[in-house]
Amino acid sequence: MIDYGVQIEPQFGYTWEMIRETALAAEAAGFESLWASDHFLIRPEAVDVNCLEAWTVLTAVACATKSLRVGAMVASQSYRNPVLHAKIAASLDHMSGGRVYFGIGAGWKEVEYQAYGMPFPRPGKRVRQLEEAIIIAKKLWADPKADYQGRYYSVNDCVFMPKPVQDPLPVLVGGMGTKLLKVSARHADAVNFAWNKPLDTFEERLGVLAKHCDEVGRDYGSIRKSAGLHMALEGVESDKVAPYIKYSGERKWKHMTPEEAAEFVRGYVDLGVDHFVIVFPYGSEPESVGFFMEHVAPLV
């Protein structure tokens, strides 16, 4: 079964009303999930562009919908203490009736770290921190009391309630670096490679994941493969101009016919991908999700 999610980038200036409209339209159209990127700002000079906090957005979406799953694509492990992060996810899992993905990554947007006064270690250290954060989250979700002494993060005989509704709460790791894929092989229930990665690159990175799975004794087939795509559909237009445009330049969208879009998706399906997270042009999401499910999904 192929599942489709729609991605919202709060850093692009979305209002809550726009996100809510997208979530309701996605649920009605049959989308499986809504995802929000985890950022604090689009550019340091963008003093007039809203950026709603990701987990707050996901909580509101979960409360406004009945079946739509929610997740961060992906939350930076270093933006929140690991216990707090695990607590947020478990709390929302209860509030949503078990509809949360724990999407997490190593973090990358250095300007945010600088603006918020947070350390920005080298990539290898951020990946090692990510692994410890995932280990701690899983212990907190499963053990009566969690104890873990890591190089970067620790918990000490930690009481953590309530446990998530889902057992296990699915962990999705975003990223395709070699060290990161080793972490995914050990701990991820799903991996996401984004955005619009060429098929040969996607296939090669899946091969690296498979190699790491062999090394750690993990069944490669037990990890779900997810692709992040940017997609504009012919026949769907938006009259909204993204507030961030003047700071980053307008994205040059290639509009696809339903047949072209389906062929695009099928290329990833042939590699074993069965989960897609799609970014549609700003403001076109409510119409795009319905159009996609009616005209594109049946052709995949």
Domains of the chain by residue range: 3-120+163-299
- Select from 108, 111, 88 the least CA-distant residue to 100: 88
Q: Give residue 249's pLDDT.
A: 64
Q: Give residue 254's pLDDT.
A: 84
3-state secondary structure of 143: coil
Judge whether 41 and 51 are in contact, CB under 8 Å.
Answer: yes
Q: Give residue 15's pLDDT.
A: 97
Q: What is the pLDDT along the chain (300 residues), one digit of tens a residue?
A: 999 999 999 999 999 999 999 999 999 999 999 999 999 999 999 999 999 999 999 999 999 999 999 999 999 999 999 999 999 999 999 999 999 999 999 999 999 999 999 999 999 999 999 999 999 999 999 999 999 999 999 999 999 999 999 999 999 999 999 999 999 999 999 999 999 999 999 999 999 999 999 999 999 999 999 999 999 999 998 888 889 988 876 667 889 999 999 999 999 999 999 999 999 999 999 999 999 999 999 999
Q: Using only C-alpha atoms, what is the Rg of the chain?
A: 19
User: Whole-angstrom Cα distance, residue 193 to residue 227?
Assistant: 5
Residue 14 to residues 44, 51, 233, 242, 243, Cα–Cα distance (Å): 17, 7, 20, 8, 8
User: Whole-angstrom Cα distance, residue 185 to residue 208?
Assistant: 10
pTM: 0.96
Give 101's Cβ-side CA count (13 Å radius): 31
CATH number of 3-120+163-299: 3.20.20.30
User: Whole-angstrom Cα distance, residue 27 to residue 25?
Assistant: 5
Q: Give residue 231's pLDDT.
A: 97
User: Whole-angstrom Cα distance, residue 68 to residue 120?
Assistant: 34
Q: Give residue 251's pLDDT.
A: 66
Q: Give residue 63's pLDDT.
A: 98
3-state secondary structure of 260: helix
Give the rounded distance of the alpha carbon of 194 from its chain centre.
10
Phi, psi of 32 (to 5 degrees): -80, -30
